[in-house]
Amino acid sequence: MEKTYNNKAWLLVIPVFILVALSAIIPIMTVVNYSVQDTFGGNKFFWVGTEWFTDVLRSERFHNALGRNLLFSFIILCIEIPLGIWIALAMPRKGIWVPVCLIMMALPLLIPWNVVGTIWQIFARGDIGLLGHTMSLLGVDYNYTNNIFDAWVTIIIMDVWHWTSLVVLLCYAGLVSIPEAYYQAARIDGASKWSIFRFIQLPKMRGVLIIAFLLRFMDSFMIYTEPFVLTGGGPGNSTTFLSIDLVKQAIGQFDLGPAAAMSLIYQLIVLLICYVFFTVMSHVGTDRPIQEKVE
């Protein structure tokens, strides 16, 4: 529906505009500023053009961090999406248990992220943590602070615990909107549970799954707080994701130039992948005109 033109609307937008300008636009412009300049100290900056960008793109450190991010997001998506769908399918759609399940699913999402990191930090500790202690009782050699594999496993499990609920709630919303008649027709057709999933539920969840995918990809690719609190980027730099590396450079080393350049590149990568993904997913399996044949 086209909205009619209304000048009063602009007045309502100005306060938001000011806030966004102060908290987002101006800082971003500052970052862009830093990314094309260098300093010898004493607050004097000079133009270096795209030098920082080429430096970052060539640096091995950046490549490694990027690689870690991609691997992490890939694993996360492979686990959380199917798991989320599976849990959503198992949740009841009618009755008293519905609100109970919904609240249980929502709980992990409500916890502040650094608290999540801290919970798992303690949980996984070998001496006082329930998980860590149980592992050592079972005879498993588990230490997330000095074993790379253990650190990764812990971070992944922590993220799955934290964020799968989001996928669950989105998929649940999609499932609940399927009219009962489809299930009835499928039963009458003698369809197996798997067929019902494949031919009715999955296609009808397409919209929400796209959103779930996008959200989880973006969030996991930009992850900072939880791994930072849990491992601080260690052991060594095995869990130093792009965001953590960025902060190290900017605030730790005070290399504003390369840090600014890296953050812009980071942002562009996220935008690019999301755009490509969204475009592809929106066109897969959409309505084609009747004249077009399907092989």
Supply 85's token pair.
């769908």
As measured in angstroms, the least distance from the Cβ of 15 to other proteins is 23
Q: Pattern of binders to other proteins over 181-210, x per CB under 8 A?
A: xx-xx-xxxxxx--x---xx--xx------
Q: Which is nearer to other proteins, 141 or 292 (CB)?
A: 292
Report which secondary-structure segment, H or E, holds 180. helix 180-188
Report which secondary-structure segment, H or E, holds 18. helix 8-20
As measured in angstroms, the least distance from the Cβ of 195 to other proteins is 7
Does the protein bind other proteins through residue 6 (CB under 8 A)? yes
As measured in angstroms, the least distance from the Cβ of 92 to other proteins is 19
Task: Judge residue 70's burial from the number of C-beta atoms within 10 Å of its C-beta, 0-12 exposed, 13-18 middle, 19 or more buried.
Answer: middle
CA–CA distance, 278 with 115 (Å, rounded to integer): 32
CA–CA distance, 136 with 197 (Å, rounded to integer): 41
Does the protein bind other proteins through residue 95 (CB under 8 A)? no
As measured in angstroms, the least distance from the Cβ of 17 to other proteins is 23
Q: Is the Cβ–Cβ distance between 258 and 174 less than 8 Å?
A: no
Q: Which is nearer to other proteins, 1 or 138 (CB)?
A: 1
As measured in angstroms, the least distance from the Cβ of 294 to other proteins is 6
Q: Got the DSSP string for 96-154? A: THHHHHHHHHHHHHHS-HHHHHHHHHHHT-TTT-HHHHHHHHTT----TTT-HHHHHHH
Residues 163-182 that bind other proteins (CB under 8 A): 179, 181-182
Does the protein bind other proteins through residue 294 (CB under 8 A)? yes
Residues 256-275 that bind other proteins (CB under 8 A): none
Binding site for other proteins (CB under 8 A): 1-2, 4-6, 179, 181-182, 184-185, 187-192, 195, 199-200, 203-204, 285, 287-290, 292-294
